[in-house]
Amino acid sequence: MAIYHFEYGDTHVELTIPRRRVIGSIEARKTPPLPDLEGTLRHLLSHPTGSPPLQEIVKGSDRVTILAGDMTRLWVGTAKFLPVLLNELQEIGVNPSLVTVLLGTGDHRPHTVDEKRLIVGDRVFLKYRVVDHRAREKDDLLFLGRTSRQTPIWVNRLVMEADKVILTGGIVYHFLAGFGGGPKALSIGTSGYETIQNNHKIALGTAMEGLNPKVCSGITWGNPLFEDLVEIMRAAKADFLVNTIINYKKEIAAIVAGDPLEAHQEGIEKVQAFYGIDTNLMGDMVIASAMGYPEDINLYQVYKTLDNVTRVVKPGGVIVLYAECREGMGNEDFAHILTEFSDNSTRYSFLEKHCTIGGLMGFGIALWAERYKIVLYSSMEPELVKKTGMIPASSPENAIEKGSELAGESPDIVLMPHGSVTFPIHSNHSGRTE
């Protein structure tokens, strides 16, 4: 027997597992933070990827709109790199009165004043115009036509009326777009509600598939949802991009700048190097942690851990998951799909008419709960966990006991202590990002 520690909320659980049954562990790489963020970014602004230097793109008389993430993207580190970008614009001769920082809320709620200050930093907030995008306010939007997949393109006026638009954000594996960052800052963050919902609906597959298998983490080109995002961005304005890549401690470990697609691709390759883990492991049982708070703040956030874990568990196998979920479900649409339907057929029928990102994620977990046996140790009420199709555990040890009973005799066990930030890639992985 051996003792293993898995993060859980603000603490950890101690697990005793038969060493002979553990066939391997998939763990995050230890990537250091950038030692000189300001110096690195200033160099990149003058030597960008696939683009002329920012100094040649922007004129001193230009009205500039910078798209930044909202509170759900606080990990991107906007307050750390935005002052460097704004100082560069001032050196070019752009007066602060000509600059707007547009917070890409997508269809999320608006921010409080304190939240805006937190996102961009006090000095930027006091000196520059910082405004929320409002996806449902048609007066704030302009219609630009439709994509080849018939997504209506509604984009914030502040994007279209600017002389130059700079996208910012962070690149991570993303279960819909393949990778976050890049065009998502505009095509989701500052587009209209109809645009967002029609784009997300591309993720819904046939009744037989459930979710579209081409819409998944790790795939951009060849992923119809990502390609739709690119069409939206190209119909609007996007002159330059600055994206961060974080390590598993949420520190900025790399940054890219330049052409919105070419620099994004460069960042994707860095994300793959940080988080993509080559493996041949496939377990009868996978024991995983969502990596503690805030990654396990609610079940909605735990989705990305399950998305990663399902890549190394055999069909019909067992997942033992440690995720505190102190705030319960975390999203109304997500909770509704998971708990208010009797089967996945009726969930699918509902999503055909009322498709939201929360609904899609709830449907994804419901599909996994049908394909695998998922034992969850959390702070959620057992009856609520049962409604999701998962199996509640009363203690860390009870989770192992239930998992072992379900996995049968002598199961091969895979450990994933950093489940939210480790993306298993098998040698026969056929996906591509370019």
Segment 13-24, tens digit of pLDDT: 999 998 899 999
Residue at 433 is within a domain: no
Same domain, 250 and 233: yes
Q: How many domains does the chain have?
A: 2
Same domain, 176 and 242: yes
The Cα–Cα gap between 138 and 129 comes to 21
Counting beta carbons within 10 angstroms of the beta carbon of residue 3, is it exposed (0 to 12), middle (13 to 18) or buried (19 or more)?
A: exposed
Q: Is the pLDDT of residue 344 over 80?
A: yes
Place of tokens 């690119």: 230
What's the token pair of residue 359? Answer: 């609904």
Same domain, 111 and 182: yes
pLDDT in tens, 141-150: 999 999 999 9
pLDDT bucket at 429, cuts 50 / 70 / 90: very low
Q: DSSP H helical segments within 142-261, as ranges?
A: 157-160, 184-187, 193-201, 224-235
Q: How many CB atoms lie within 10 A of CB 294?
A: 17
Provide the pLDDT for residue 432. 32
Residue 298 main-chain phi, psi, to 5 deg: -155, 170
Q: Is the pLDDT of residue 256 over 50?
A: yes
Same domain, 108 and 139: yes
DSSP per-residue string spanning 60-77: TT--EEEEEE-GGGGGG-
Mean of pLDDT over the chain: 94
Residue at 258 is within a domain: yes
Provide the pLDDT for residue 431. 37
Per the CB < 8 A criterion, the answer to whether 260 and 243 are in contact is no
Same domain, 309 and 233: no
Q: Is the pLDDT of residue 55 over 80?
A: yes
Same domain, 184 and 258: yes
Q: Is the pLDDT of residue 138 over 90?
A: yes
Residue 208 CB contacts under 8 Å (≥ 6 apart), including other chains? none
Of 249, 274, 299, the one marking the end of a domain is: 274
Residue 209 CB contacts under 8 Å (≥ 6 apart), including other chains? none
Same domain, 267 and 341: no
The Cα–Cα gap between 19 and 4 comes to 10
Residue at 434 is within a domain: no
Q: Lowest-confidence range among 1-10, 38-47, 97-106, 141-150?
A: 1-10
Provide the pLDDT for residue 250. 84
Residue 25 CB contacts under 8 Å (≥ 6 apart), including other chains? 414, 415, 416, 417
Q: How many CB atoms lie within 10 A of CB 376?
A: 25
Same domain, 228 and 308: no
pLDDT bucket at 303, cuts 50 / 70 / 90: very high
Q: Is the pLDDT of residue 187 over 50?
A: yes
Same domain, 102 and 87: yes
Of 274, 307, 328, the one marking the end of a domain is: 274
Residue at 95 is within a domain: yes
Residue at 286 is within a domain: yes
Q: Which residue range forms the structural domain that includes residue 321?
A: 2-26+281-426
The Cα–Cα gap between 26 and 1 comes to 19
What's the token pair of residue 135? Answer: 């996806």
Of 274, 291, 306, the one marking the end of a domain is: 274
Q: In CATH, what number is assigned to the domain containing residue 327? A: 3.90.226.30
Q: Is the pLDDT of residue 1 over 80?
A: no
Residue at 228 is within a domain: yes
Same domain, 101 and 239: yes
pTM for the predicted model, two decimal places: 0.89
**pLDDT average, residue stretch 357-363:** 93
Inter-CA distances, 285 with 47, 94, 369, 381, Å: 48, 57, 14, 24
Same domain, 18 and 114: no
Task: Give the β-pairing of 164-170 and 11-17.
Answer: unpaired
Q: In CATH, what number is assigned to the domain containing residue 69? A: 3.40.50.11440
Q: Is the pLDDT of residue 140 over 90?
A: yes
Provide the pLDDT for residue 258. 98
Residue at 407 is within a domain: yes
Provide the pLDDT for residue 374. 98
Residue at 290 is within a domain: yes
The Cα–Cα gap between 228 and 200 comes to 10
Provide the pLDDT for residue 248. 83
Same domain, 332 and 395: yes
